[in-house]
Homo-oligomer: A and B are copies of this chain.
Amino acid sequence: MSLPPKENRRPLTLRDVSEASGVSEMTVSRVLRNRGDVSEATREKVLQAAKALGYVPNKIAGALASQRVNLVGVVIPSLSNLVFPEVLSGISAELEDTGLQPVVGVTNYLPEKEEAVLYEMLSWRPSGIIVAGLEHTDTARAMLENSGIPIVEIMDVDGTGVDSVVGISHRRAGLHMAEAILKAGYRRIGFLGTKMPLDHRARKRFEGFQEGLAAAGVQIADTEFYSGGSALRKGREMTQAMLERTPDLDFLYYSNDMIGAGGLLYCQENGIDVPGKLGLAGFNGVDLLEGLSMRLATMDACRREIGRKAAEIIAGRPHQGLIGGEVIELEPVIDLGDTIRKT
């Protein structure tokens, strides 16, 4: 089995394998895809030849010929947000033995970037697209609608989707947290969040939160927004700033757990009585933080579950008729942790 010198070797094709094993290209193709009837004898022969040559099939040609691509596009705003890798992990797990493979694109929360990423992905004709959020440019939305493949918009259900939707209502999540806070007796409430106007889910939580307070005649007493930098430190800094500016606050609601944890650390170090004098809550339920001495109140965003369900829709679509348009709303559960006083 002597291979030609590495330098001037042209790429291997099915033909090489077929010649090496004395059968037709079609038979080799069948063996390598485990499709159609092939006798055990030739199967062995072919596999051996393929291995000896080090042949790797060319999926580009295969996909073109079969009009089938085993890729699923996953478009998310960021990889550093912690939340998205978890969603991804749910997707991967569900796709594990379906033969489908996720391909990730990152948008940095920029609509135009999202549009570009979607264009690029669609040009590979994937079996489906999973995209975070319901807000897209008009062009992007049109592309998705015309693509002819299953689309699943994830994370958020407050709005209308292109096709299927899997997520939670961030508006109601904010609202429920407001209710829980009020129920615990807190009244002077501050909000700390990200400045990003393009994080629609954080915005919706904020709006729902305000709405929940308003229903009880309570208004947010102070707000503070940040952008960029280490979330933990920002949480610490913002907390300090807010407490100095508005010392009579009795609750701080953070738009994510990371800045909430920063705030918690600040309070602990400065001997502030949590949750007695000051209550705290975040959002997401990241288990990265499980190691803190006090468990921050939070709300699980069902991240893995969202990933799973979305992948399930894409993977299942070919089988169970191509109806599409499902909307799956998950219910985030509130976890009072140790930073909201029990009533």
Residues of A near any B CB (own CB < 8 A): 6, 9, 11, 54, 56-61, 63-64, 69, 79-80, 85-86, 88-89, 92, 101, 103-104, 106, 119-120, 122-125, 142-143, 145-148, 230-236, 258, 261-262, 265, 269, 287-293
Q: Which residues of B contact A235 (CB under 8 A)?
A: 291
Name the residue of chain B whose CB is nearest to the CB of A64: B60
Q: Which of B86, B143, B232 contacts A289, CB < 8 Å?
A: B232
Closest 10 CB pairs of A and B: A232-B291, A233-B291, A230-B290, A79-B85, A59-B123, A262-B291, A233-B290, A54-B146, A56-B122, A60-B64
Q: Which residues of B contact A231 (CB under 8 A)?
A: 288, 291
Q: Which residues of B contact A101 (CB under 8 A)?
A: 120
Flag if B54 contacts A143 (CB, 8 Å): yes
Flag if A123 contacts B79 (CB, 8 Å): no
Name the residue of chain B whose CB is nearest to the CB of A148: B11
- Interchain residue pairs with CB less than 8 A apart (22): A6-B145, A56-B119, A56-B122, A56-B147, A58-B123, A60-B124, A61-B64, A79-B85, A79-B88, A101-B120, A103-B103, A104-B104, A230-B287, A230-B290, A231-B291, A232-B288, A232-B292, A233-B291, A235-B291, A261-B291, A265-B291, A265-B293
Flag if B63 contacts A230 (CB, 8 Å): no
Q: Which residues of B contact A86 (CB under 8 A)?
A: 80
Name the residue of chain B whose CB is nearest to the CB of A230: B290
Name the residue of chain B whose CB is nearest to the CB of A7: B148
Further pairs besides A79-B89, A101-B120, A232-B289: 13, Cβ < 8 Å: A56-B122, A56-B143, A59-B123, A59-B124, A79-B79, A80-B89, A103-B103, A230-B287, A230-B290, A231-B291, A232-B290, A233-B290, A236-B291
Bound-state CA distance A127–B9 (Å) is 17
Bound-state CA distance A123–B261 (Å) is 44
Smallest CB–CB gap between A166 and chain B, Å?
20
Flag if B119 contacts A106 (CB, 8 Å): no
How many copies of this chain does one complex carry?
Answer: 2
Bound-state CA distance A147–B12 (Å) is 10
Q: Which of B59, B106, B146, B289 contacts A92, CB < 8 Å?
A: B106
Flag if A291 contacts B234 (CB, 8 Å): yes
Bound-state CA distance A258–B92 (Å) is 25
Bound-state CA distance A288–B258 (Å) is 9
Q: Which residues of B contact A80 (CB under 8 A)?
A: 85-86, 89
Bound-state CA distance A160–B132 (Å) is 41
Bound-state CA distance A333–B263 (Å) is 30
Flag if B291 contacts A60 (CB, 8 Å): no
